[in-house]
Amino acid sequence: MVAAAKNYQHEFFDTSGVDNFKIKNVGQAPEGYPKEPHEDIYSDSPFAASFALRKKAFLDHCLQNPSGTHIKGFYYELVRLQMKQGPLHQGLLQGVLDYINDRYDCSDFVLLGMMRILYQFFESELLSETLKANLVQTILDFKYHPEEPGIDSMCYWTENHQIMFATNAYLAGQAFPDKVFINSGQTGQEKKKRSKARIIKWLEMRFLTGFSEWLSHVYYDEDITALLNLVDFCEDQEIVDLSAMILDLIFFDMALNSFRGVFGCSHGRSYGEEKRNGQIEATSDTQKLLFGTGMFSGKDNMGAVVLALSERYQLPQVIFDITAHTLAYENRQRMGIKVKDAKKWGLTSDRVEGGMGLLSLEAYTHPQSINLVMSLFDEFRWWQNQFFKDFSKYRTLIEILRRLHLLPALARLLEKDLTRNTREEVNLYTFKTPDYLLSTAQDYRQGYGGDQQHIWQATLGSKAVCFTTHPGHKENTSAGYWVGSGNLPRVAQHKNVLITCYQISKMPGLYMTNQLFFTHAWFPKDEFDEVRELKGWIFGKKGDGYIALTSQNQTHWQTTGEDKDREIIADGLRNIWICELGRAADNGPFANFVEQISASLLKFRGQSVTYQSPSQGKMQFGWKSPLRIEGVAKSLSDYPRYHNPYCQAGFASEKIEIKKGDQQLILNFKERKRTVSRFLI
């Protein structure tokens, strides 16, 4: 019997991080439960020689700390179950079940943890019989896909949510194959069959094209947790093998694009606090557990807990070895697809599944997908989903334009504003040395409105980072002050030098109208060992790494508030910023670096610049002109899937080989075969 459709609406807000989502009514912690948090220490070099030692340190850290009441905090309770060391905070776990039952946004995050309890710890004596019964009932009652009845404001469609919902649905169906799930009316077998196709398609797209939420130090954490649940508990070997392969590629991405425990690169989705402080990234705990560098912060992490509890996944040794690089190298990689290529990737053959595939790119209002997406609004009752409240305001207009077949034309006219969420194909470039990392999304959607895309970053330490944005408005939410972009820049990087051009629009938008008309840089003076200013350049030194930053427009430091002496502001609708990095091994003492850069030729002409870099020679770039190095144009597009010293794989290649020294990893998607020379121990 299918339950009557219910309306699960709650207070809705534009989130700025996981702390916004709280588990309610958890009651008092039991006697003997940890009261005060024991903060970990950030490690910029491996703190333990083996994974076994790092795992023990992490599990001990979890046992010593209370679970937070944000939606990922309760994962520490899973460690208490694993180690059989109570007391367990059962009130918190019941609060988690209540959160899922009320269908709050991100219920899929927390259901992954409860699903692990079902499969791995259900017989634990620390769990009460009442909690076990409630857990089973929650799993049977939940809504696993937007096609099911009920009105709510859960997000089902972004890349990370799709694999979490599908994983939860598959494992629920596998656990209760003959039960009828109350909300959908499907049996467990039916739910499992529907979910398998979705999981396989998601895994296929990630292997061949990477992530639309590229290199996300926020959302890789969710992906990791879902994939580990599949590896550990799925009975279908094809899903297990492919999930392990995608985990390998996630950790390979992290190894290539991290600096001493900081995932300090360009990100497809990011938040303001995390990109300014590498110690609280959602992947920091995972970095320290796997690679020995980072911090057990527990602030926004569930992947590390599940990784420490996993009984079937092991990291290939070669990925760990890559983090111990000693020479500078370049990494080029391409991720994502173009909406216009949807048919090529099989995203148009089925309306619902194809539409969800396009929504994994957040292509809500792209001219080529808007009609299809609006049909899903009708079918899935998304007009009442609070994520889409802005669409509801214009529903009458949208309906008229749909009847007149004019909706794509409007979307095309307002594309730069309306598609600011869309994450299409990106070409990523990272230059990494032992003393710094510089990373960029090359020439990515210039002039379009931005959302949570983080286009470039220079990283010299966990908090000694630099990047620029155009803030669309004052709030620290999507496209806000430090999160995304009012308008995306045009950026090009060659090795240790980066040039970024801005052109800010004053045009009113249906989605968002820019409120601020300047660009700014994050450059925290207090996180560098030394800061100097000379001839319009701002220089920083951190350890043996150096950074130089300058702007076409005159700059000034923020003088008030929490960003005092950390924010550099340059007024003007158009601007060009230049950033060059150096190191003692290449440039000698810091004073030499300052002298070399400040004496270099720098000539701006409108929206273009010529810069005589001391390290790279004559560089030319602009809003409309190509990147030229000593007169030779450099391609900023059509990168391979991977090109670095450890892996050369063409885009959409069905075989990826990773090698360093005598260690290698061969991932063969077509044959569903994972070959590892040795696993990390």
* pLDDT reported for residue 568: 98
Instruction: Specify the higher pLDDT residue, 414 or 15.
Output: 414
Q: Please, what's the b/e burial string for 647-676 (b: 16 or more CB within 10 A of its CB; e: otherwise)? A: bbbebbbeebbbbbeebbbebebeeeebeb
592 DSSP 8-state letter: H
Same domain, 508 and 583: yes
Instruction: Tally the domains of the chain.
Output: 3
Helix (H, G, I), strand (E, B) or coil at 318: helix
361 DSSP 8-state letter: T
* pLDDT reported for residue 390: 86
Considering the chain, what is the average pLDDT of its residues? 95
Q: Mean pLDDT over residues 599-628, rounded? A: 98
pLDDT band at residue 635 under the 50/70/90 scheme: very high
Tens digits of residue pLDDT in 444-478: 999 999 999 999 999 999 999 999 999 999 988 88
On whether residue 545 sits in a domain, the answer given is yes
Q: Which domain holds residue 658?
A: 644-676
Q: How far apart are CA 648 and CA 267, in angstroms?
A: 22
- Res 2 pLDDT > 80: no
Token couple for 144: 């696993």
On whether residue 371 sits in a domain, the answer given is yes
On whether residue 353 sits in a domain, the answer given is yes
Same domain, 587 and 661: no
Same domain, 413 and 454: no
Same domain, 658 and 550: no
Same domain, 629 and 665: no
On whether residue 571 sits in a domain, the answer given is yes
Q: Are 373 and 387 in contact (CB under 8 A)?
A: no
- On whether the pTM is more than 0.95, the answer is yes
On the question of a cis peptide bond just before residue 87, with omega within 30 degrees of 0, the verdict is yes
Same domain, 478 and 619: yes
Same domain, 502 and 378: no
Tens digits of residue pLDDT in 44-67: 999 999 999 999 999 999 999 999
Q: Are 81 and 126 in contact (CB under 8 A)?
A: yes
Q: Are 608 and 580 in contact (CB under 8 A)?
A: no
Task: Give, for 516, the enclosing helix (H) or strand (E).
Answer: none
Exposed, middle or buried: residue 15 (CB in 10 Å: 0-12, 13-18, 19+)?
middle
Q: How far apart are CA 234 and CA 174, in angstroms?
A: 8
Sign of CA dihedral 388, 394, 395, 400: negative
Sign of CA dihedral 106, 108, 109, 110: positive
Same domain, 548 and 459: yes
* pLDDT reported for residue 12: 62
Q: How far apart are CA 502 and CA 467, in angstroms?
A: 13
Instruction: Return the ∠ at Cα 245 (arms to 241 and 248), rounded to 5°.
Output: 140
Residue type at 520 in one-letter notation: H
* pLDDT reported for residue 326: 83
Same domain, 402 and 454: no
On whether residue 663 sits in a domain, the answer given is yes
Same domain, 473 and 497: yes
**Which residue in the block uniquely carries the two structure tokens 């918190």?**
92
* Residue where a domain stops, chosen among 418, 435, 466: 418
* Residue where a domain stops, chosen among 368, 402, 418: 418
On whether residue 236 sits in a domain, the answer given is no
Same domain, 613 and 659: no
Token couple for 361: 């790119």
On whether residue 429 sits in a domain, the answer given is no
Tens digits of residue pLDDT in 262-273: 999 999 999 999
Close Cβ partners of 500 (under 8 Å, ≥ 6 residues apart): 455, 456, 468, 489, 490, 491, 492, 576, 577, 578, 579
Tens digits of residue pLDDT in 474-528: 988 888 999 999 999 999 999 999 999 999 999 999 889 999 999 999 999 999 9
Task: Give, for 490, the enclosing helix (H) or strand (E).
Answer: strand 490-494
Cα distances (angstroms) measured from residue 441 to each of 154, 265, 281: 30, 9, 19
Exposed, middle or buried: residue 554 (CB in 10 Å: 0-12, 13-18, 19+)?
exposed
On whether residue 350 sits in a domain, the answer given is yes
Same domain, 390 and 494: no
Tens digits of residue pLDDT in 156-172: 999 999 999 999 999 99
> Could you tell me whether strands 7-8 and 151-152 are parallel, antiparallel, or unpaired per DSSP bridges?
parallel
pLDDT band at residue 117 under the 50/70/90 scheme: very high
pLDDT band at residue 4 under the 50/70/90 scheme: low
Percentage of the chain beyond pLDDT 90 is 92
